[in-house]
Structure 1
């Protein structure tokens, strides 16, 4: 009788070691859970309790002209200020608070991560796998440099530890993140967090927030969900005034 060659049959493979199975349609829920659990494990390992999230365009360049350079340097300065004063600096035995977190890419994200590194703090990058390559910027702490396949899980990790948002000028991706987090605050589905839009002229030119209220699409009180700032120190002061908690160390 011929010997059964069962070891070559993919059905016989251990499920956890069967890449074809793990990456198949039926395991999408499990992959979603894995993306949550992996990032959560490493964030806890590095004792990250809370974050300040900096959003903004990947197209902003330090050498991209006067306006782009000003935005880049403002994001870098803010990243340093928040890291120095917010509780991100510790000896590794305490919980870290208000750690700068970004989407991990270039532009504003790079600048904010860079400012945190200037302060000597750890800093997080939540990268997303895209059809065209996105490379993490070099200022992310290596043990906090994550990559996600699912936008939804990436957004969840950006939001769940966030205690404040500072949103610099950006495009569709920045708008998506801004309105999703404004909706969480508006509906009470997320915890309260101060939101600062950096560069008032940009934001009021791009979005007519008052028109939402005038049309009855939002309430006037919803316009209090965010503030504007035109200077990194002003942005930090706005966060404190709107309730950002800073540990006493």
Structure 2
């Protein structure tokens, strides 16, 4: 790079706007950065032919060898992602379109289990990571070309919602609840299509949230309880999704492995 040889050329105002990090990262360009976080993943997902996803949420602290129910939650998330990827159409080629591609937050725990399950059957999967104070590292199983990092939670949530054909929520903490209620609100207000929402492990969810209390207090209608259902096994999750409108797209015999776009 040529060293500026005049005060004018050395001035920050002389930099090309698109190559000026101080300008791009300044407060006046927040809207532009928001647009970039929409456009970059959208372009990559289109290149890979991703028509629809199945979003899987759940606790980042769940471990494959964890205590109590954690091992079961991890195993069932992995098994479900493998099953859904085989039956849903994630293994179709980019030119034929990929359907019901597993999409997670890209981190550890249930997210890792779901991305891993897709990888088990040779299917691509998506990881929508977020920059956090304690840096979140992407897990080893999301497809590298479909592994993204966001600064804005709002844009990350939009990418979760805009292609989702179904939502599966495993036990989790504040972040899982945040994403669950985001999609429930979109469904209740008809801002999202009528996608099925499945909560895994009814006992856990009933111990954490008593939705019926909201009905009793007049905060939601009784019909709103139909926005979600429960499941206890990977197979049952799939059955609930199909009953709720998810369409299987099994890979044909001539195309059983993913192709690069």
Q: TM-score range by the shorter chain?
A: over 0.9
Query: Structure 1 residue 51 and structure 2 residue 53: aligned?
Result: yes
Query: Structure 1 residue 41 and structure 2 residue 63: aligned?
Result: no
Match of 2:46, SS state, is: helix
**1:24-83 CA distances to partner (integer Å, 9 max, x unpaired)?**
000000000000000000000111110000000000000112410000000000000100
Match of residue 180 from structure 1: 182
What are the residue-to-residue correspondences of 1:27-176 with 2, within 5 Å? 27-176=29-178
User: Does structure 1 conserve the Cα–Cα contact (< 8 Å) formed by 2:49 and 2:93?
Assistant: no
When the two chains are superposed, the root-mean-square deviation of aligned CA atoms in Å is 1.0
How far apart are residue 150 of structure 1 and its match? 0.3
**1:222-243 CA distances to partner (integer Å, 9 max, x unpaired)?**
0000000011101100111111
Higher RCO (C-alpha 8 Å, min separation 6): 2
Partner Cα separation in structure 1 for residue 245 and residue 19 of structure 2: 47
Partner Cα separation in structure 1 for residue 245 and residue 49 of structure 2: 22
Match of residue 18 from structure 1: 20
TM-score normalised per structure 2: 0.93
Ranges of 4+ aligned residues in structure 1 off by more than 3 Å? none
Partner Cα separation in structure 1 for residue 152 and residue 94 of structure 2: 30
**1:176-207 CA distances to partner (integer Å, 9 max, x unpaired)?**
00001000000101111000000000000100
Partner Cα separation in structure 2 for residue 16 and residue 183 of structure 1: 37
Note the residue ranges of structure 2 that are not aligned, 5 or more in a row. Answer: 253-261
TM-score normalised per structure 1: 0.97
How far apart are residue 22 of structure 1 and its match? 0.2
Partner Cα separation in structure 2 for residue 6 and residue 51 of structure 1: 51
